[in-house]
Chains A and B, each alone.
Chain A
Amino acid sequence: MPILEPIRFLSPYDFYPTVLAVTLLVGILFGRGQGAARRAGEPVGWWRGLSFWLGLGLTYTVLQTQLDYLAQHMFWVHRGQHLVLHHLGPILMVLALPHTVMARAVPGRLLDGWLRPLWHHPAVQIPYRLIQHPVVAPLLFVGIIYFWLIPSVHFAAMLSVPYYNAMNWSVLVEGLLFWWLILDPRSPTNGGLGFGVRMIMVWGVMPPQILLGAYIGLSKEVLFEVYDICGRAWPLPPLVDQQLGGLLTWIPASMMSVIAALIVLRMWLRHSDTGPAAQTGTG
């Protein structure tokens, strides 16, 4: 039955209709947008397509396949799942500038009559500007990691399906918001954030993640007992599980900041004629 194995693996463990519906909607819009762009003679670059589909595919895989079972019953797999949901998936999707592609697939009347006015409405713009404030955004980005790792909160999230979904969705949405702010290709003069500010933000979120990852990874006692109570997906000493989870929170998460910083640096050099030294504005 080796042929059936991948199918079994890709089949949902817990079926979440919202995950499937959102993935399908986003995927169809992007795919149709790619087609429309090609017909308009402005095809989406192959790396942008690859980046988007890889990001969307990884996000879906960690949410809706048997990996979700492992993530529920192994702390380090859960941390890997969140590495994809909070860092890797959003970064890959945001780099493809998916809104510009997806907008081509939306009927003009809907886009201009409803979506654009809705987006510019104060009821959307005021909260959006608040959570995307250069001081608030990094705090939210790091705060959400800390919040779901408070042992009592983590315990509740791992037992309750609604809390579990709230955890995964909040981490994914916050990841998309934060990385969009950092990787927005617009220059400060066109509505993007100043590149210097982005650098500070992307480096600023590193130490708290290192601290948290190190604290978990180096802890001598089991912090998250829910895995002991419900059982681990396979026999692994609890502290080893926790150390691996701590390392995943610590090292690859910080690496994402380094990669993002390099991308920002490249944008910075491209956008400024006089080099980074001349651009100290805050946007």
Chain B
Amino acid sequence: MRTVHALRGAVAALAAFLIVGCAPEQDGWRLTNITGLMPELTFTLTDHTGEAATGEDFRGGPVLMYFGYTHCPDVCPTTLATVRSALGQLNNEASQVTVLFVTVDPERDTRGALSRYVNAFGPQFVGLRGKPSQLKDLTRRYRVVYNRDKPDADGDYLVAHSSALFVFDREGRPRLVARPDDDAEAIASDLSRLLADT
């Protein structure tokens, strides 16, 4: 009998432990809530105008950060177009938002190439590139992956990279992550909620 009681107690304790868990709640966000899970935005890179840029430069408004490269055939242009469309839904508040496009292919993404690319999407888009070690520091910080494939006969190559679009609040704290299947409306809705936070 005592064993049965002990067993019941242990099962109840385990169940309570499992239910409480440690994952953040969704709290009504449309994108995936990652509040409190990752360190605040910090990096040392160079922007598409050739100026040195740090994470702290972008405090004050919400920041979106995406890792990609200009030769990317599909997912990068699609994601950036979705972001542009989300910003379009925000009206005049959109000017407070910055979109950081960090290239994982700094070899081909020269300052000029990066500049042409981000300018095509809009004034809030900032291209960032850096030395391999600077890029590694940032990707390790946000636990994202990028891998250069083998070049083909013409020397062209693909770079496999994470699909995560990170959303930071005004203080540079990571709050949300958008996945490729999150649409512009979801991004816009969560951004306006972040903008409303004082």
Question: When the two chains form the complex, which single residue of B3, B32, B160 contacts A235, counting CB atoms closer than 8 Å?
Answer: B160
A156 touches which of B14, B37, B147 (Cβ 8 Å): B37
Inter-subunit contact A228/B163 (CB<8 Å): yes
* Contact indicator A133/B144 (Cβ below 8 Å): no
Q: Contacts of B142 on A, CB cut-off 8 Å?
A: 230
* B177-A229 in contact (CB<8A): yes
Q: Is A169 an interface residue (CB 8 A)?
A: no
- CA of A72 to CA of B141 in the docked complex: distance in angstroms? 12
Q: Which residues of A contact B6 (CB under 8 A)?
A: 133, 135-136
Check: B10 CB closer than 8 A to any chain A CB: yes
Q: A135-B3, A163-B37, A225-B179 are in contact. Are A230 and B23 (CB under 8 A)?
A: no
The 8 Å CB contact of A232, one of B7, B11, B145, is B145
Instruction: Give Cα A245 to B70, complex, Å.
Output: 34
B18 / chain A contacts, CB cutoff of 8 Å: 143, 146-147, 150
Shortest CB–CB separation between residue A12 and chain B, in angstroms?
Answer: 11
Interface centre among B14, B37, B143, B164, by most chain A C-beta atoms within 10 angstroms, is B143
Number of interface residues of B (CB under 8 A): 32
A280 within 8 A of B: no
Q: What is the bound-complex CA distance between A232 and B3, given in angstroms?
A: 45
Q: Closest residue of chain B to A72, judged by CB?
A: B143
**CB distance B145 to A231 under 8 Å?**
yes
Chain B, residues 1-18, CB within 8 Å of chain A (1/0): the string is 001001100110010011
A143 CA to B142 CA, complexed, in Å = 29
Contact A150 B163 (CB under 8 A): no
| Given contact pairs A135-B7, A158-B143, A163 touches B163 in the complex (Cβ within 8 A) | no
Q: What A residues does B34 contact at CB under 8 A?
A: 159
B37 touches A160 (CB 8 A): yes
Q: Mark A214-254, 1 if CB is under 8 A from B, else 0.
A: 00000000000100111111110000000000000000000
Indicate whether B193 reaches chain A with its CB closer than 8 angstroms: no
> Per-residue CB proximity of B68-86 to A under 8 Å, as 1/0?
0000000000000000000
B157 touches A (CB below 8 Å): no
B residues with a Cβ closer than 8 A to A are 3, 6-7, 10-11, 14, 17-18, 21-24, 32, 34, 36-39, 140, 142-147, 160-164, 177, 179
Q: Which 7 A-B pairs have the closest CB atoms?
A: A231-B145, A231-B162, A152-B23, A160-B37, A156-B23, A159-B37, A229-B164
